[in-house]
Structure 1
Amino acid sequence: MAATLDNVELTAHQNHLPASTELLGDLITLPQNRLSQSGRAIRQLLTGSGNPESNVESFFKPSVRSWWCQVDSCCVWHHIADDLENLFRGESGRCNKFARQAVRIAFHDAGTWSKATAHQGGGADGSIILSPDEMTRIENSGMSEVAAHYMRIYHRYHVDLGFRSVSMADLLQFGSSVATVVCPLGPRVRTWVGRQDSNASAPHNLLPNPFGDAASIIELFQNKTISPRGLIALLGSHTTSQQHFTNFSRPGDPQDSTPGVWDNLYFRETLGSVAVPERVYHIPADSNLAQHDTTRAGFEMYGRRGGQKQWNSDYARESIRLGLLGVNNINTMTECTRVLPRATQNFSSKDQRKIDRWLKNLDWSGVWQDVSRFLEEGHTVRVSEADLQI
């Protein structure tokens, strides 16, 4: 009976929140009889069918200097995936600050495109790192560390090893897929490569304001072909995060009680449907969206019992859409999902009792600051419970 009621509730939410079915890039004008395998698959995903997640794996990883890596487009990405997994996964099993920055920087690169400004460029083109000024924009604060890692990886594979097909545009979106699946419980998003780089600066004022009102943010995303449902699915990535640049007086405070874990607790805590510890900081725009008539249902749908599966699927579909904004050669792209790390489908933090104590205290000095740092680095919290007395 409970399962039946859950299904009725889910259907009601889905009917209230339809997903976008708009096509993008060259798929808008290409007839279906001219679509490649990738073009057909992506067209299905953009129009609401097909599975946006995949557990297909490649167990064959030749040397990066082998002839095979010269003929198989995904071979080099297998090596890059391993490098990124090592960068993003903490010894606690949680994902770390580099993974969180990777998801964010991929959005900030792609999200600079809109239907109204498409003639000005922007989108998933690598310009957030390759342009002379985008990383200095205030909205891009807090991502310089992962940008530096990406530059090193790009230089190694694109320059030193001569893989000219490895673009910064792909590295950013591929990195987001790796980061998402490295975070425990995160989806394994189907992932394509073949984007073209640009060093031209993207248009301004196309990313959401963390203090923005819900109506303005909804309109901003709809102009990117992302529906209110898609917006809330993407917003859920805040489940892993610890903010530094929205409220400077609360550095390292998380957006839900399980930072570094890709669970749906974020939706319930932002909505206020469960008790929320003092240290959990709700980004003002997130709170505004949680209470808005158009988007509240999304928080309810994803935060419900069993909502994780629906959220992961919707996030994967919207992440694919996001990573194709401004891309006009979708039909020639290559799917490389098979080289992504495996998903972690079950997880519990062995140090959650210590984290729970930290969450109840609003001290940002001494041992309390140490806990924040351990969590950001993906480490097990290495302080005693006695030191965390409130």
Structure 2
Amino acid sequence: MSLKYLTIVFSLVYLVSAGLVRRVTCPDGNAVSNKKCCDLFPVLEDIQKNLFDNGECGEDAHSALRIAFHDAIGYSKKSKHAGGGADGSIYTFANQETAYPANGGIDDIVARQKPFIERHNLTPGDFIQFAAAVGVSNCPGAPRLEFLLGRPKATRPAEDLTVPEPFHNVETILDRFDDAGFGPSDVVALLTSHTIAAADKVDSTVPGAPFDSTPGVFDNQFFVETLLRGGSYPGTGPNKGEVPAPDALRGEMRLESDHYLARHPRTACYWQKNVESEDYMMSSFKTQMAKLAVLGQNTKEMVDCSDVIPMPKPRVGKAHLPAGTSLHDIEASCDETPFPTLSADPGNATPVKPVKAS
């Protein structure tokens, strides 16, 4: 084969590839891969300023991610009467779904998002998943989540008991996720959301109790700290669905489900992989969130508008042990590989501050 022929072939490949990523310039000057995505930039500007407090990784960003999960997981491969997945039913049928015990506190973010849904030309399902992806992008260290546009309006509510509760045992939780199409490693990946999460309802005396010591940063500290030996409660515990958190992290809350998933034979090694590699944690979370965000949807009829989602800032630092702890405090449960060596912060143990509500 002649050099001239090879040059022609490579040139054709380049031209075809270039055509696949052709960009469209929106009226406001932004460039996207599909002109339908241009309509999202006014929504992006509005929610960043007026929902997420000028782009903060705060309470509304955490809640936006939570409602995206609670809306989508109301899906079942087995039941013909289950909800339509990521379709916005938690908004459309809010009176019914927010009354489910597992959705306690969701009514707050439903009310916060309502005026934005009403003034923008998006279905509730699209808005909920778009807001979640944008909210996550405000958290340093987070992956840039995908977003597909085109969810139809929900036609029926999700059933009760489709959202796992923190007091459910591991097998019950894994069975529920399996019914929605997620395996044990996928469950652990989705729990990466807890690195920026906090609890209001498990113990109402400590609203905003975080699950790790860096609730405004997307990192793997949650996976480290959940393995520390528990000793105390942040408030009036024990409460249903709560187990003791580390004494060295006063104010931190630990969900019972997180505690046992971190130590269960079917999930412990996936948990430890998130400790070992933040890149693995981010890529697996991004993959499973992309799957979750389109549960029950026909993706062939949707438009990929992922290029509208802002690029998150990088995280500074790496996984470590909190001050006042050592590797002897880690309850490692993965038999396949030894627990990684982590350094401890210097100084005395520091209390963990609650996450402020907006």
Q: TM-score range by the shorter chain?
A: 0.7 to 0.9
Indicate the residue corresponding to 1:311 in structure 2: 281
Equivalent residues in 2 for 1:178-327, closer than 5 Å? 178-272=134-228, 276-304=248-276, 307-327=277-297
Indicate the residue corresponding to 2:112 in structure 1: 149
CA deviation vs aligned residue, 1:201-260 (integer Å, no higher than 9, x gap): 211111101111111111111111111111001111111112111223332211001011
Counterpart check, 1:117 vs 2:79: yes
Aligned equivalents of 1:87 and 1:240: distance in 2? 20
Q: Tell me which stretches of 4 or more aligned residues in structure 1 moved more than 6 Å.
A: 356-359
Please, which runs of 5 or more residues in structure 2 have no aligned partner? 1-20, 231-245, 324-345
Q: Give me the identity figure in percent.
A: 29
Q: 1:129 aligns with which of 66, 86, 91?
A: 91
**Helix, strand or coil: the match of 1:184?**
coil
TM-score by length of 1: 0.68
**Helix, strand or coil: the match of 1:183?**
coil
Indicate the residue corresponding to 1:108 in structure 2: 70
Aligned equivalents of 2:207 and 2:92: distance in 1? 29
Greater relative contact order, per chain length (Cα 8 Å cut-off, separation 6+): 1
Indicate the residue corresponding to 1:344 in structure 2: 313
Aligned equivalents of 2:100 and 2:172: distance in 1? 21
**Helix, strand or coil: the match of 1:271?**
coil
**Helix, strand or coil: the match of 1:176?**
helix
Q: Is the 8 A contact 1:110 1:325 kept in 2?
A: yes
**Helix, strand or coil: the match of 2:98?**
helix
Aligned residue type for 2:157: S
Larger Rg: 2
Aligned equivalents of 1:358 and 1:199: distance in 2? 55
Aligned-residue offset at 1:288: 1.1
Equivalent residues in 2 for 1:30-45, closer than 5 Å? none
Q: Is the 8 A contact 1:88 1:182 kept in 2?
A: no
**Helix, strand or coil: the match of 1:258?**
coil
CA deviation vs aligned residue, 1:124-151 (integer Å, no higher than 9, x gap): 1111011141123222222333212322
Equivalent residues in 2 for 1:21-60, closer than 5 Å? 60=25
CA deviation vs aligned residue, 1:149-194 (integer Å, no higher than 9, x gap): 3221111112xxxxxxx21111111111111111111110121111
Q: Is the 8 A contact 2:47 2:116 kept in 1?
A: no
Aligned equivalents of 1:239 and 1:144: distance in 2? 22
